[in-house]
């Protein structure tokens, strides 16, 4: 079994999409290993998105993910990272496949409703970041 991290961003929470988005992962055979809702501090958001520091969208990203609560999930199944990325869709909702979360619910590159681990290495780091007790 492989694990991945999915973060439902403040726009998904504000728009009442949490249940529908979780159901998409459960319907695809994912098991929720850990889940929490929290409001990220700017420091925690900066640490989580550290690889984007210095990019032109970084400050907007931090403003956005700290403006309200997020739902964070550690999910598992075979090929979890790849399958989650398919369900999530491309970062830009205009380029995301119809039927993907971002294709259906994303408003733009910033307000795209969801974060998912991009690689297995990212998934391990990100799950550990939010859920250090998950092995």
Token readout for 5 is: 């991290």
Active-site residue, 115 included: yes
Tell me how far apart the alpha carbons of residues 132 and 72 are, in angstroms, rounded to a whole number: 13
Q: What share of the chain is helix, strand, coil (3-state, %, to 5)?
A: 45, 20, 40
Tell me how far apart the alpha carbons of residues 84 and 89 are, in angstroms, rounded to a whole number: 9
Contact 74, 134 (CB under 8 A): yes
Q: Which of 115, 116, 123, 127 is catalytic?
A: 115
Q: Among all residues, which ones are annotated catalytic?
A: 115
């Amino acid at each position: 079994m492989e694990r991945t991290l999915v973060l439902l961003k403040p726009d998904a929470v504000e728009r009442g999409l949490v249940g529908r988005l979780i159901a998409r992962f459960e319907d695809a055979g994912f098991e929720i290993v850990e889940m929490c809702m929290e409001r990220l501090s700017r420091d925690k958001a900066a640490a989580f998105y550290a690889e984007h520091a210095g990019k032109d969208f970084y400050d907007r990203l931090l403003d956005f993910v700290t403006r309200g609560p997020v739902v964070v999930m550690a999910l598992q199944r075979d090929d979890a990272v790849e399958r989650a990325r398919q369900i999530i869709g491309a970062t830009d909702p205009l380029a995301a496949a119809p039927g993907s979360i971002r294709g259906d619910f994303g408003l733009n590159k910033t307000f795209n409703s969801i974060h998912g681990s991009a690689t297995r290495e990212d998934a391990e780091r990100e799950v550990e970041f939010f859920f250090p007790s998950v092995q």
